[in-house]
Amino acid sequence: MEGLDVGLKAVGAGLAMVGAFGPGIGIGLMVQGAMQGIARNPDAAGAIQTNMILGIVFAEAVAIYALVVALVVLFVL
């Protein structure tokens, strides 16, 4: 039954990456807000950019959690 084992691991890793679509949308939403903010008030571009990168880091972390679980499923389990 080794084939079934490997195959189900592949399905599990694939399912984990489905969760990565959230951060993709989220990064888009926050950069959208930052773009509109810089256009409305270019003087605040520094503070907006700093907070945008701060937010991207946390959202990217969620995608990396999914990636870590996928890689653990593939190589460690």
Shortest gap between Cβ of 54 and a copy of itself (angstroms)? 8
Shortest gap between Cβ of 6 and a copy of itself (angstroms)? 5
C-alpha span between 66 and 11 (Å, rounded): 14
Q: Are 23 and 64 in contact (CB under 8 A)?
A: no
Write the interaction track for a copy of itself spanning residues 57-76; mark x where CB under 8 A is met and - where it is not: -xxxxxxxxxxxxxxxxx-x
C-alpha span between 17 and 72 (Å, rounded): 12
Residues of this chain, 17-36, that bind a copy of itself according to CB under 8 A: 17-36
Shortest gap between Cβ of 49 and a copy of itself (angstroms)? 6
